[in-house]
Structure 1
Amino acid sequence: MILYFDAFAGASGDMILGALLDAGVDLDAVQRELQKLEISGYELKRERVTRRGIAATRFQVLLEGGADPDAPPRHGAGHIRGHDHGHDHHDHHGDHGPHGHHAPARPLREILDLIDRSALAGPVKALSRRIFERLGEAEARVHGVSPADVHLHEVGAVDAIVDICGAAVALHLLGMPECHASPLHVGRGFVETAHGRYPVPAPATAYLIEGVPSYATDVEGELLTPTGAAVLTTVCRAFGPRPPMRIRATGYGAGKHDRVIPNVLRVHLGDPVTAEFGAGVPAPAGAAGAGGPGPGWALERVVLLETNIDDMNPQVYPHLLERLLEGGALDAWLTPAHMKKGRPGVLLHVLARREEADALAAIVFAETTTIGLRRSEVERWVLPREWVTVETPYGPVQVKVARLGGRVVNAMPEYEDCRAAAREHGVPLRRVWEQALAAAARLVRDGAGDGA
């Protein structure tokens, strides 16, 4: 599946979530996942608005039971449970919502700890961490300190934590699609920050978009915020024209203000179409033998990392595989091997998206005794898939649903959800798993799990 962000009017954290909700992501499912973070004092609001005649979804994080986050801050609005610093928290989205001078300075390590100790799914934790680490690196460069010493101002507020983790949750619910984006529209003029008046793009944003196509026009204001830039430059593998795809859904996320252009972020969600059959032209049925997609599945190009290991404590392998999967690996596994001099060993395989291969290679070198790693690009056929949440007697469980020709052909409960529910209720894991499968079967039978 491909997700394309059309950022002709820029992007902020709330616009990204608004667009994903408008494209079909379930707000209740996002909210249930965000409740796994130890933060409170906020609620989520979704409303339909128009921007220059375009209907769009406006997503907001309201503090303290619906307080306007763009209003002057109130003491203690939004806090980390067990870590109440007595600061005011309010919206920090530049021109999409003012930065303000009263934003709390929260250490980056505190935000990362908040994510790590949450019950969020592993891929959501890993993606949320990567986004905040990019923000931290950019802020560290701005202020001339190390990332370990950086304190985040605007991006440390509760609403920004919700925006970033919420975007990671939404992408997880969509099955972590391959993300692309247009060149980024940054705006022009000045923006008020906790440190004073800065030119657009703000210094952190300028660092975040290094190496990424961007542009400015005569549209005034901060169109691309640090949060928006961090999310898009972390999740998107390429910036340019929309890749060939068969669009399944389009969504619009609204910014706060009306402008001379529609102040919306547009997203397209769909299935990839290989170049062999032309941009936007579906592959003929039965074309899989020619190397293209088959009827109902798509062709992806991914990276395979491999190395042989015969001199490492085997107790390390479970930890290694866990780190690789949390780091964004599509899959990671071990194969027994007979090495030179008759020694038993293992062959480590890591399947990854191209943009994440370098980071995963660094994990392998750091966690294992290997001094060499093979890298090759491979193709794989994949079915369209998505995450749905089903209700069981032991609570909600996420199920990954795969489709062939629009029909559900496989449904697999999320192991970590089932394990957590089994532990909480003191029942066998198998019982929770069977209940989740039965709920998924009912979903399909009733038609809710079928798509066109």
Structure 2
Amino acid sequence: MAEPGRHAWIDAGAGIAGDMLLGALVDAGAPVYVIQDAVDAVVPDAVRMTAREVTRAGQRATKVDVAPVAADQPHRRWSDIRDLIDRAPLEPAVAASAQRVFETLAAAEGRVHGVEATQVHFHEVGAWDSIADVVGVCAALHWHAVRSVSAGPIAVGSGRVTGAHGDLPVPVPAVLELGTGWELRAGGTGELATPTGVALVRALAATCEPLPPMRVRATGVGAGSRDTPGRANVVRVCIGERTETAGQPATEQLWVLEANVDDLDPRVWPTVLTALLEAGAADAWLTPILMKKGRPAHTLSVLCAGGDRSRMGDLVHSLTSTFGSRSYAVDRVALQRDWRIIQVHGHSVRIKVSLDGSGQIVHATPEFEDAATAARAVGLPVRRLLDDAAATATAQGLRAGSLLPPIDS
């Protein structure tokens, strides 16, 4: 499996659908069985997934076929899908990403059709193939150890198409709603982007940008069903570590949500922070404050992507006793990150490495949970294990001012 902390860039310049993005991630190396297991965890024995090599306008690509096991598959509401994912034995990051995609899709479809998002009940959200595409893409990204995603402009097509609600213009209303705030292009005739495909981009990608500076580790090309002469009906994905030119670290716009709380049992706070981080927050922390009349209290702060503001706000309101929250945009400057695994007293410990724009190491820090697990196993104080891990990392060239050594060194 890939090293932790990678970036994925999605090229949707020829359009995008859920199966196309899934095919690209499989083409880049994600095993079909990993995706099948994740989908089975949500809807057991509902679909079977296979991958095959195809050509689109002369280009090789991977097509993932999703076939139903049973003939009559239910069209579920978003609230039903949410409950299925909540109960499924998925990795927390996969479940959180899938929930975010379906929430984004349901909100757009609900706005288009004038109903509450939880009551959206038609094939765009509830069909077995949409569940397979969304959960499969999230599981494949997790397998690739992708921690951040960006994408280029989306080709949506032009003309008209016949759908479940009759004759519709292209882009269809849900795609246009989902595309608000993103760069869209016609890119050709016909329907090139589906609601599920655009929802995956909008929910998972933080930024619309050209291919960013990257150290590319894997690429993949995923095919749609149609083979249009003169235009390859494919989605491409690049996976690797982001790099920055001229020594400049990456800058991204995030949001901070805050709430002042003076009446929550302090024993609950660790569970609040853990739940927010597992739900996809970039960071979450507490600051002791004094409120009116000298009451001791805490400010809860949550750092998250813009697309997660609503969901994180709902979590803050449900997990704490606050009556409201505030938010503001911030620019985060982040050093490039990488990981290396070392052996300490016979146990694996990850070393988190930060790099400047030239590839030199700025920090190399043992991962605390790995060190704590190893310390318990060998009967040493955690402090001692951390010291030994840092010394081992230094001896292997993971030191400030040095170039990051190759993985196989």
Q: TM-score, normalised by structure 2?
A: 0.74
Q: Establish whether residue 120 from structure 1 lines up as the match of residue 90 from structure 2.
A: yes
Gaps of 5+ in 1: 65-75, 78-87, 90-103, 278-282, 284-291, 387-398, 419-429, 432-448
Q: Establish whether residue 37 from structure 1 lines up as the match of residue 33 from structure 2.
A: no
Counterpart in 2 of 1:178? 148
Counterpart AA for 1:273: T
CA positional deviation for 1:382: 4.9
Q: Establish whether residue 160 from structure 1 lines up as the match of residue 165 from structure 2.
A: no
Q: Establish whether residue 325 from structure 1 lines up as the match of residue 325 from structure 2.
A: no
Query: After superposition, what is the alpha-carbon deviation per residue over 1:333-377, rounded to whole angstroms, capped at 9, x for unaligned?
Result: 446667777755445343334543464345335534275657554
CA shift in 2, pair 1:384/1:241, >3 Å: same
Q: Establish whether residue 143 from structure 1 lines up as the match of residue 148 from structure 2.
A: no
Q: Establish whether residue 61 from structure 1 lines up as the match of residue 66 from structure 2.
A: yes
* Identity in percent: 39
Counterpart in 2 of 1:390? none
Query: After superposition, what is the alpha-carbon deviation per residue over 1:29-72, rounded to whole angstroms, capped at 9, x for unaligned?
Result: 333333322331321101111212221111111222xxxxxxxx
Distance 1:139 1:341 in 2: 47
3-state SS of 1:140 partner: helix
Distance 1:36 1:412 in 2: 31
CA shift in 2, pair 1:203/1:24, >3 Å: same
Partner residue of 1:3 out of 5, 8, 23: 8
Gaps of 5+ in 2: 1-5, 341-348, 378-405
Query: After superposition, what is the alpha-carbon deviation per residue over 1:86-137, rounded to whole angstroms, capped at 9, x for unaligned?
Result: xx34xxxxxxxxxxxxxx5322211111111111122222221121122222
Q: Establish whether residue 268 from structure 1 lines up as the match of residue 238 from structure 2.
A: yes
Distance 1:257 1:299 in 2: 38
Distance 1:237 1:53 in 2: 32
Counterpart in 2 of 1:18? 23
CA positional deviation for 1:16: 0.6
Partner residue of 2:322 out of 360, 369, 394: 369
- How many correspondences in the alignment? 356
Query: After superposition, what is the alpha-carbon deviation per residue over 1:361-400, rounded to whole angstroms, capped at 9, x for unaligned?
Result: 45335534275657554434352359xxxxxxxxxxxx98
Query: After superposition, what is the alpha-carbon deviation per residue over 1:124-183, rounded to whole angstroms, capped at 9, x for unaligned?
Result: 222211211222222222322222332122432112101001111122233343222121
CA shift in 2, pair 1:305/1:400, >3 Å: farther
**Two-structure CA RMSD over aligned residues (Å):** 3.6
CA contact (8 A) 1:125 1:326 kept: no
3-state SS of 1:177 partner: strand
Query: After superposition, what is the alpha-carbon deviation per residue over 1:3-22, rounded to whole angstroms, capped at 9, x for unaligned?
Result: 21111210110111111122
CA positional deviation for 1:326: 4.1
Name the stretch that deviates more: 364-373 or 222-231.
364-373
Counterpart in 1 of 2:189? 220
Distance 1:358 1:133 in 2: 10
Query: After superposition, what is the alpha-carbon deviation per residue over 1:182-228, rounded to whole angstroms, capped at 9, x for unaligned?
Result: 211112233332233323222222221122211214x3321101110
Alignment map for 1:286-301 (pairs within 5 Å): 292=248
Distance 1:169 1:412 in 2: 26
Counterpart AA for 2:75: A
Q: Establish whether residue 235 from structure 1 lines up as the match of residue 204 from structure 2.
A: yes
Counterpart AA for 1:209: G
3-state SS of 1:19 partner: helix
Counterpart AA for 1:5: I
3-state SS of 1:39 partner: coil
Q: Establish whether residue 351 from structure 1 lines up as the match of residue 303 from structure 2.
A: yes
